[in-house]
Amino acid sequence: MSRIGRAPITLPKGVSVEVMSGNVVKVKGPKGEMFQAVDPDIAVKIDSGVVTVERPTEQKRHKALHGTYRALINNMVHGVSEGYTANLELVGVGYRADVAKNVLTLSVGYSHPVVVLLPEEIKASAKQDKGQNPIITLLTNDKDLLGLVCSKIRSIRKPEPYKGKGIKFVGEALRRKAGKSAAKK
């Protein structure tokens, strides 16, 4: 039995969940509203501020969908109540980031600046203190979209294993290689 799927979702104050026609779950809160289509076999029940997800049988497919949809609904509830944040760090000499409206401009060692158009749901800011690496902060209520945008930005200049230059998450531990000097013995 799915332990994640069986866990009930308690709704924070100011968050409402509604199951609409076509088995679409609508979650509304102070940071916006989100929709998620749910498989017709999975039942979403709302009872006095607690959301539960139920499956009809013990089939492998139903077990997989049970935990998945419970996690998706829980992420939506957390997103509309508190939101999600991701911080990306640019490591490298001369690396810069600028944000104007929803356009992120990166200077990360190429002969030209890289321009990234961000979705409207994401609020971005760039900060650079003297002597520190530039940090890009992304805020949104959609966890899935945030992960997608972060991976897209990170793929522009992935951290390399020798000096660690590139775009990485703040606090991310990189596996470093020793280089040529370690081989000469």
Kindly report the pTM of this predicted structure: 0.87
Q: Which of 116-120, 146-150, 176-180 has the lowest mean pLDDT?
A: 176-180
84-169, what's its fold?
Outer Surface Protein A; domain 3 (3.90.930)
Is 3-81's fold the same as 84-169's?
yes
Give the model's pLDDT for residue 185. Answer: 59
In this predicted structure, the answer to whether residue 35 has a pLDDT above a threshold of 70 is yes
Looking at the predicted structure, is the pLDDT value of residue 136 above 50?
Answer: yes
Cβ-contact 72, 79 below 8 angstroms: no
- State residue 133's pLDDT score: 94
Closest-CA residue to 53 (of 45, 41, 64): 45
Distance CA 90, CA 83 (A): 23
On the question of pLDDT at 182 being above 90, the answer is: no
Do 17 and 78 contact (CB within 8 A), yes or no? no
Of the candidates 4, 31, 2, 1, the one whose C-alpha atom is nearest the C-alpha of residue 15 is: 31
Looking at residue 112, its pLDDT comes to 95
CATH tag for 3-81 (out of 3.50.30.60, 1.10.1740.10, 3.40.50.11740, 3.90.930.12):
3.90.930.12
Please choose, from the candidates 13, 14, 36, the residue with its C-alpha nearest in 3D space to the C-alpha of residue 25: 36
The per-residue pLDDT of the chain, averaged, comes to 92
Smallest CA-to-CA distance from 44 within 64, 15, 12, 18 is with: 18
Q: Is the pLDDT of residue 96 over 90?
A: yes
For the chain, the straight-line distance linking the first and the last C-alpha, in angstroms and rounded, comes to: 55
Domain ranges of the chain: 3-81, 84-169
